[in-house]
């Protein structure tokens, strides 16, 4: 692997990006949540985006860890839109209020791109699938005999699922900013579910996907 000062080109959703290679530096990991329970909490959406080749989180996620030497440069498909020169790769925490139980579930997104100014999150279905999560994107109304697992994100090993909703033709599930207490519970080893893994390194343009499909 090349040093952290070298870079290679790849595409992130609607953008062209340059990713620096690096090794995780545990000394650079930072806990960033300092919010009170009644401050900074915002309801927002986490959308499925099949055009996104890596999960992205926005302003309302709680960033747990950030690797300063692991960033991407995001350039839109139109030069006139400008670019994000250094978007960090992070581990982020979201809260999902399960409507079937009324209980909050903490969701962890590893290896996500933090895009400041983004008011929702984008989930890459392929990244979830390669993390062992089943993503059933087909809406129930497009299924002849729909079941509970249709149009849902399914944690097979835990017998748990997140039902998806539709806004027009966009699939999503509602999330919110975790409270400080919830963040502390997570850091103390409380219950949570991982949407993506922190290893191996996610490279959406790896040739391995082509080889697996052939």
Tell whether 203 is covered by a domain.
no
Sequence-distant (≥ 6) Cβ neighbours of residue 34 within 8 angstroms: 180
Tell whether 70 is covered by a domain.
yes
Q: Is the pTM of the predicted complex or chain greater than 0.85?
A: no
Residue 84 has pLDDT above 80, yes or no: no
| DSSP for residue 78 | S
pLDDT band at 52 (very low <50, low <70, confident <90, very high): confident
Tell whether 155 is covered by a domain.
no
Residue 130 has pLDDT above 70, yes or no: yes
Give the chain's mean pLDDT.
Answer: 83
Tell whether 207 is covered by a domain.
no
| DSSP E strand boundaries for 145-195 | 152-155, 160-163, 165-167, 170-176, 193-194
pLDDT at 137: 97
* The total number of structural domains that make up the chain: 1
pLDDT band at 31 (very low <50, low <70, confident <90, very high): very low
Least confident window among 19-23, 49-53, 56-60, 119-123: 19-23
Residue 126 has pLDDT above 70, yes or no: yes
**Range(s) of the domain holding residue 62:** 7-123+177-196
Tell whether 34 is covered by a domain.
yes
Tell whether 206 is covered by a domain.
no
Sequence-distant (≥ 6) Cβ neighbours of residue 91 within 8 angstroms: 63, 64, 65, 66, 108, 109, 110, 111, 112, 198
Tell whether 182 is covered by a domain.
yes
Tell whether 49 is covered by a domain.
yes
């Amino acid at each position: 692997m090349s040093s952290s000062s070298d870079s290679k080109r790849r595409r992130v959703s609607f953008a062209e990006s340059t990713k620096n290679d690096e090794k995780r530096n545990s000394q650079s990991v930072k806990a960033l949540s300092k919010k009170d329970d009644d401050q900074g909490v915002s309801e927002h959406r986490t959308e499925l985006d099949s055009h996104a080749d890596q999960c992205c989180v926005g302003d309302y996620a709680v960033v747990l860890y950030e690797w300063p030497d692991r960033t991407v440069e995001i350039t839109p498909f139109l030069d006139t839109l400008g670019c994000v020169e250094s978007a960090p790769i992070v581990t982020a925490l979201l809260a999902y209020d399960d409507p079937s139980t009324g209980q909050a579930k903490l969701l962890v997104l590893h290896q996500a791109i933090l895009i400041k100014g983004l008011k929702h999150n984008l989930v890459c279905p392929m990244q979830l699938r390669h993390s062992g999560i089943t993503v059933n994107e087909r809406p129930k109304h497009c299924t002849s005999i729909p079941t509970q697992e249709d149009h849902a994100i399914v944690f097979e090993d835990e017998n748990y699922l997140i039902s998806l909703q539709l806004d027009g033709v966009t699939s999503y599930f509602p999330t919110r900013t975790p409270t400080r207490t919830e963040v502390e519970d997570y850091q103390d080893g409380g219950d949570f579910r991982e949407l993506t893994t922190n290893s191996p390194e996610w490279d959406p343009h790896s040739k391995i996907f082509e080889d697996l499909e052939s």
